[in-house]
Chain A
Amino acid sequence: MLQAQDIHFCIRNMPIVDKASVSLAPGELTVILGPNGAGKSTLFKVLAGEIPCKYGKVDYNGSPVNGFSAKNLALVRAVMPQHSSLSFPFKALEVVELGLLSGGGSYRQDLLEEVMNETQTWHLKDQLYGNLSGGEKQRVQLARVLTQIWDKKPFPRYLLLDEPTSSMDIALQHHVLRIIHKIKKRNIGVLAILHDLNLAANYADKVILLKKGRILHQGPVKEVMCASNLEEVFEHPIQVFSGLEDSPMIIQSIPFVQNHLEIKLA
Chain B
Amino acid sequence: MSISSKAKNQWRKTVTGYIFLLPVIVGLALFTILPLCKSLYYSFTEYDNITSPVWIGVRNFISMWSEPFFVKSVGNTFLYAFVSVPLGLFCSFFLALALSANLKGIKVFRALFYLPVILPAVASGVLITDLFSHTYGIYNRILTALGMPRFPFFAAENTAMFSLILYGLWGMGSSMLIWLAGFRSVSETYYEVAKIEGGGPFWTLFHVTIPMTTPTIFYNLVMGIINAMQIFTPVYVITSGGPNGATSTLAYLIYIYGLSYWEMGLASAMAWFLFVIIMGMTLIVFKTNKWVYYEGDSAR
Do chains A and B interact in one complex?
no
Which residues in B have some Cβ–Cβ distance to A below 8 Å? none
